[in-house]
Amino acid sequence: MPAVYVVADNIYSPLGATTAQNFEQVKQGISGIKKHHNLALADEPVYVSLFNSNEISNHNSFKYSFFERLLIVSVEDVLSESGISATDTKTLLIVSSTKGNISMLETNADDPDLKDRIALHTSARMVAGYFGFVNKPLVVSNACISGIMAILTGARLIQSGQYENVVVVGADVISKFVLSGFQSFQAISAEPCKPFDENRRGITLGEAAATMILSSNPKYADRIKVLGGAVSNDANHISAPSRTGAELAHAIERTLSIAGLLPDDIDLISAHGTATSYNDEMEAKAIALAGLDKVPTNSLKGYYGHTLGAAGLIETIISMQSLKQNLILPTLGFETMGVSNPINVCTTLTSKRLKTCLKTASGFGGCNAAIVFSK
């Protein structure tokens, strides 16, 4: 099978409009999470990472929703510089999101057009049309593993020979509809999230977009390489993860097998690390079961919040920058180990020679995903 390389990438978030801007902010320990008292979101103040309303260029704001404009801005940043054409029949667009335009249920009239307007395939089609993609776009929406699953889907489509290039973009927007859903689970933290910490109190949400362009063209052989990945399912509960971590561990072990790697070959783990009691406990158990409990591990949720369908993409892209710069980022908010299977949670910015990184994610419905990449 052909190798899959990462040609270019973008992160568009409250921390910056490019990957470089985002990595510099995170490297300095700056977080996009702030306390907001916005009645359009919630009656009480809440910690969340949000864009300022004037940050997104209009891109014909009457035609495109805020969610779609996020996708467009992120893709636009990298597509023009990548040398890859949207009109090439060998190029595909994949859109990753968990919520899409669901907030339109709050704001739009309940008419026959609303059902189509909030459909993810509608947004994907509109974004594809904006750039002139000739192939029908693909949508990946599988809870919080959507971003990683979209990367894996793109890589597999390239390896199958169906496409040479895949543009993977993910985004989600935080609205009252989305926030209230997590509040109904009592999952929202009353302070910025603290992944893996014994005093963690839950999730902090965030909104952002990210784009990654994949290609099998050997002229990109000097770029980051996607080595493989896998997904699994707990079959345990609609919202609570496995209590053993065995299913995520299986996805990790399968990923290493596909990549031809051993646990000792992994230099860094970018964990999902949502700062909920059950997720962090399960993920720590899975990492230990896979023999990776000594590997430096971080969660980036303290910088971005949980960006849902964009999270896997954002955290993969930041981790690729870590490989390029040989820097391990600390887990913002972490102080004291709060999981029963201790893992090597990073607490300081550390220079270390790095080659490979494993990225993990888990989500509602018991879904798990892992992907490994190297320089």
Task: For residue range 318-350, list pLDDT tens digits in order.
Answer: 999 999 999 999 999 999 999 999 999 999 999
pLDDT at 361 over 70: yes
- C-alpha 306/C-alpha 279 separation (Å) is 13
How many Å apart are CA 193 and CA 202, to the nearest integer? 6
* Superfamily classification of domain 225-374: Thiolase/Chalcone synthase (3.40.47.10)
How high is the pLDDT of residue 109? 83
- Would you state the pLDDT for residue 166? 98
pLDDT band at 52 (very low <50, low <70, confident <90, very high): confident
Tell me whether domains 4-220 and 225-374 share a fold. yes
Say which residues have a Cβ less than 8 Å from residue 328's Cβ, sequence separation at least 6.
Answer: 268, 296, 298, 322, 346, 349, 350, 351, 352, 354
Q: Which amino acid is at 2?
A: P
Q: Which residue has the tokens 């960006």?
A: 307
Q: Reply yes or no on whether the pLDDT at 36 is more than 90.
A: yes
**pLDDT score recorded for residue 339:** 98
Rounded CA separation 78/10 (Å): 6
Our measurement of the distance from residue 101's CA atom to the centroid of its chain's CA atoms, rounded to an integer in Å, reads: 18
Q: Is pLDDT above 80 for 56? A: no
0.85 surpassed by pTM: yes
Residue 107: pLDDT band (50, 70, 90) is: confident
> Which among 207, 42, 46, 175 is positioned nearest to 106, based on CA atoms?
175
Rounded to the nearest 5 percent, the helix, strand and coil shares of the chain are 35, 25, 40
pLDDT class for 57, splitting at 50, 70, 90? low
CB atoms near residue 149 (< 10 Å): 25
What pLDDT score does 97 carry?
Answer: 98
Long-range pairs of 247-250 with CB within 8 A, sequence gap ≥ 24 = 247/286, 247/366, 247/368, 248/282, 248/283, 248/286, 248/360, 248/362, 248/368, 248/370, 249/285, 249/286, 249/287, 249/289, 249/290
On whether the CB atoms of residues 70 and 82 are closer than 8 A, the answer is no
Q: According to CATH, what is the number of the domain 4-220?
A: 3.40.47.10
* pLDDT per position as a tens digit, 125-165: 999 999 999 999 999 999 999 999 999 999 999 999 999 99
Locate the domains of the chain by residue range: 4-220, 225-374
For the cut 90, the answer to whether the pLDDT of residue 55 exceeds it is: no
Query: Mean pLDDT over residues 180-207, rounded?
Result: 96
The token pair that represents 311 in the structure block: 């999270």
Round to whole Å and give the CA distance between 308 and 192: 16
pLDDT at 59: 65
